Amino acid sequence: MDNRHDRIAEIALDWHRQGRGAALATVVETWGSAPRQAGSQLAVSGTGEIMGSVSGGCVESAVVTEAIEAMADGRNRLLTFGVADETAFSVGLACGGTIRVLVEPVGGAQGLPDTMLADLVAARASRQPRAYGVNLSDWSRRLMSPAEAPEPVLRRLRLDRSGLEEDGTFIAVHNPPLRLIVVGAVHIAQALLPMARIAGFDPILIDPRDAFGSGARFPGETILHDWPDEALAALAPDARTAVVTLTHDSKLDDPAILAALASECFYLGCLGSTRTHAKRLERLQAAGVGADLVARIRAPVGLDIGAATPAEIAVSVLAQIVETLRRG
């Protein structure tokens, strides 16, 4: 699947460095039933190429025109678009809403400095969270790590929620991409990995059994044939990572579970019946794992939706992961 829509900053920097010109359009505020949330972005090149979106398609052409003009004069734009309920459908919205869009050329007198954009792209490449702040009155800017961010900005990073602060500063949250680490190249994984990618996760499959974790069974997927605990140690699951074990083999699942419990992963789900999980808990407790850590395990894995087929089980697992991410 093409995931370039998640690489807006990277694409804009590439266009700028190639001499093609670049501007970033960002939704900074919404009212009503706006189609895209604050922080949604559209990159525009000097020749009118676009990547991303700031609406359901109804205002993109106007934004592109403004972006090309911004690249020409080096000045920012703050645009407001409103659509009434009775006319919304005809222009591509399901219902009415209003959005405010910030257009920043890369470089120029007022624009986003290319050095700051390069720093943001470098942080994203190393999975380091950043908050980009731009004051909509004086155009002052700041790129903040969690260690540098004040509490309101830290809260936005934790909630993954871009938006306006009371002082008129727009905060764009750039958290590391979500990851899903799946242990076990089984039929459920064949359905789960592509589903997860569609939902915005970077999936990684771990299985030391070459016959199971083959490119023929998982075309285009990232497959690691290391022992699960060694692979997880190298991947270093963080608070933007979910881990799922699917092998039914304690020799493979248990080392992965122990490694995941020692990490900051936000979700750990394990396949198996209630009886299988009870035996698993006995093994983990015998290994010295405390009750507080054991309680982090979601098992039997997935929401109880009556799933029967591997694909349905994959749906239930992904739904539970998203529920945990968004609701805690």
φ/ψ of residue 188, rounded to 5: -60, -40
- The secondary structure of 29-55 as a DSSP string is EEEES-SS-TT-EEEEETTS-EEE-SS
What does the block give as tokens for 24? 């970033």
Task: Compute the residue count for the chain.
Answer: 328
Q: Which segments of the chain are extended strands (E)?
A: 22-32, 41-45, 50-52, 77-83, 97-105, 130-135, 141-144, 163-164, 169-174, 178-183, 201-206, 222-224, 241-245, 267-270, 297-298
What confidence tier does 82 reach under pLDDT thresholds 50, 70, 90? confident
- The predicted pLDDT at position 177 comes to 84
Arithmetic mean of pLDDT over the chain: 91
- The predicted pLDDT at position 326 comes to 85
* Identity at 110, one-letter amino acid code: Q
Cα-only R_g, the chain: 22
**Residue 163 pLDDT more than 50?**
yes
The domain limits of the chain are 4-174, 178-327
Rounded to whole angstroms, the Cα distance separating 279 from 20 reads: 60
- The predicted pLDDT at position 305 comes to 96
At 16-75, the pLDDT tens digits run: 999 999 999 999 998 876 777 899 999 999 999 999 988 877 788 999 999 999 999 999
Predicted TM-score (pTM) of the model is 0.73
At 172-182, the pLDDT tens digits run: 999 988 999 99
At 268-279, the pLDDT tens digits run: 999 999 999 999
Q: Classify 178-327 by CATH class.
A: alpha beta
